[in-house]
Amino acid sequence: MKVTKFGGSSLASATQLKKVLDIIKDDPERRFVVVSAPGKRNAEDTKVTDALIRYYKEFTSDKDVTQTQQWIIERYRDITEELGLKETIIQEIAEDIYDLTNLPKKGNPFTYDAFLAAGENNNAKLIAAYFNQNELEARYIHPKEAGLTVTAEPSNARILPSSYDKIEELKDSNEVVVIPGFFGVTQNGDICTFSRGGSDITGSIIAAGVKADLYENFTDVDGIFAAHPGIIKHPHSIPELTYKEMRELAYAGFSVLHDEALVPAYRGKIPLVIKNTNNPEHPGTRIVLEHSNDHVTVVGIAGDSGFVSINTSKYLMNREVGFGRKFLQILEDLNISWEHMPTGIDDLSIILRSRELTPIKEQEILKQLTQKLEVDTAEIEHDLSIIMIVGEKMKSHVGVTATAAKALSENEINIQMISQGSSEVSIMFVVSKDQEEKAIKALYDAFFSNN
C-alpha cells in the first residue's frame, strides 16, 4: 500500500488534476492521497496559500477583503468548472472561505493557521469529489478525523507521537482516502499548521502511521538532481539516495522536500520516492535506509552561499585548555548558532550563516576575542560559500578528496577550508562566493561527466 502526496504545482489546474487522477487510477496500491493547496500555474501566478496570507492580513488590519476572497474562490471555481464538477462543491468551498472572517480577529494565535489551512482543506474536498465523479471511490478525511494531533505551536506544529495509532486505523478504509496536507489539530481542537511547505510532512506522517510500503512524493521534477539545474545544464536525476545523504544535500540548499518530512518516514522505515506528476513513467529518486549497491560513491554536489567565517589565531593555542569552550561561550552569550569548526595547530575558525550576525554582534565578538581570549589575530571573513560532495559510500572508497581537490585546483579555485565529519557522508569545501558556481561545475564534471 502506498501513500501518495501531490505538491501545489501538481494541483494547480484542471489539466494537472487529470494527471493526478490517472496516476492514482494507474496503481490500486495508491490508497492514500495527501494534497497541497493549488500552487502556481506559471511563474507569475500566486499560490493559494500566499493569497490566504494576504486575506488574513487584510482581515486583521480591517481592510477590505472582498477582492482577495473573490480571487481565492475564483481560483477553485476555474478548476471545478473545467473539471465539470457539481455546483455544490464550489458553493461549499466559497462558504468556507467566507466563514474565515468569523474567526477571532485578535488574540487568537491560531487564526492565521486556520486561514492558511483552508487552502489544503478545500483542495482535498475538491479532489475527493473529482475522484468520485470519475469512477474512483474516494473519501475526504479532515486531519482531526484522521487523528493527526499536533503540538500547539502556531505555524510550527509537530506531530504528537500518540497520533500514529489512531492514524493506523485509516488502513481499513475501502475507498481512496484524500487528506489535506500541511496541518493538524491541537489537543484543544485548534487548527495548527506545520511550517511552510509542510504538506510533505503530513504525507510522511500518514505513511508512517498506516505503515505504508512506500511514500510517493509527486512534484514537478524528475526527482532530485545531482547538482543544481540553474548551474549545471540538465544534471542527471539521482536514482537512489539514503536518508543521511538527503539530509546533507538539503542542508546545502537542495530543497525538493521539506527538511522535517524525512523524519516520520525514516523512523517508520518507509522508503520514499520523489516523482514527477508531469512525467510519471520516470522512476524518480528513491530515498532509502541503505544503498542497494556499493558502486555509487558520490551522489550529488551541493553548494550554498551566505556563510561567514570567524578566524582566530593564537600562538600555542593547542596547549591552552578551555580556548574552544570560551570561544563558543562568546557565541552562546550572543545567541548565535554556528555550523562548522575547522582547526589548525594555532588557529581555529567558526563557520556560520551570515544571518546569525549583525554589525554590532561582529564588533562584540572581535572585542571579546581580543580582550578575553587574547588572540593574536581575529577577523571575520564574509561572502563565503560551502560546497558539499555527498555520498555515504565514500567511506569505503579511496581518492574522493583527491579527485575533488584536483578538479578544483585545475580550475584555479582556492579551497579556503576543508571539513569532513567522522561519518564521512560528505566532504565540505569552503570557497569564496564568486567561485561557487565554477567549483560546482568543476566537481560535477569530475564526478559525473561519464554518466
Q: Please give the residue ranges that form the binding site for ligand ASP (CB under 6 A).
A: 8, 36-37, 47, 49, 119, 181-182, 196-200
- Taking alpha carbons only, the member of 248, 229, 264 closest to residue 391 is 248
Least distance from C-beta 395 to ligand ASP, angstroms? 34
CB-nearer residue toward ligand ASP: 123 or 419 = 123
CB-nearer residue toward ligand ASP: 32 or 327 = 32
CB-nearer residue toward ligand ASP: 51 or 138 = 51
Cα 91 from Cα 150, distance rounded (Å)? 30
Least distance from C-beta 163 to ligand ASP, angstroms? 18
CB-nearer residue toward ligand ASP: 8 or 391 = 8
CB atoms within 10 A of CB 299: 28
Phi then psi for residue 225, to 5 deg, are -85, 155
Cα 343 from Cα 322, distance rounded (Å)? 15
Enter the DSSP assignment of 237. Answer: B
CB-nearer residue toward ligand ASP: 9 or 163 = 9
Least distance from C-beta 7 to ligand ASP, angstroms? 6
**Cβ contact 126:85 at 8 Å:** yes
For residue 249, give the C-alpha cell.
544535500
CA atoms within 13 A on the CB side of 396: 6
CB atoms within 10 A of CB 155: 16
Measured N-to-C along each axis, helices 14-26 and 66-83 cross at an angle, to the nearest 10 degrees, of: 50
For residue 398, give the C-alpha cell.
579511496
CB-nearer residue toward ligand ASP: 31 or 47 = 47
Cα 184 from Cα 164, distance rounded (Å)? 13
* Pairing state between β 183-185 and 191-193: antiparallel
Task: Please report the DSSP string for 288-340 in residue order.
Answer: ESS-S-S-----EEEEEEEEEEEEEE-TTGGG-TTHHHHHHHHHHHTT----B
Cα 392 from Cα 400, distance rounded (Å)? 12
Cα 75 from Cα 270, distance rounded (Å)? 35
Can you tell me whether residue 67 is helix, strand or coil?
helix
Least distance from C-beta 214 to ligand ASP, angstroms? 19
For residue 432, give the C-alpha cell.
569564496
Least distance from C-beta 283 to ligand ASP, angstroms? 23
Least distance from C-beta 49 to ligand ASP, angstroms? 4
CB-nearer residue toward ligand ASP: 115 or 327 = 115
CA atoms within 13 A on the CB side of 226: 24
Least distance from C-beta 233 to ligand ASP, angstroms? 28
Least distance from C-beta 356 to ligand ASP, angstroms? 24
CB-nearer residue toward ligand ASP: 197 or 284 = 197
CB-nearer residue toward ligand ASP: 198 or 300 = 198
Least distance from C-beta 250 to ligand ASP, angstroms? 15
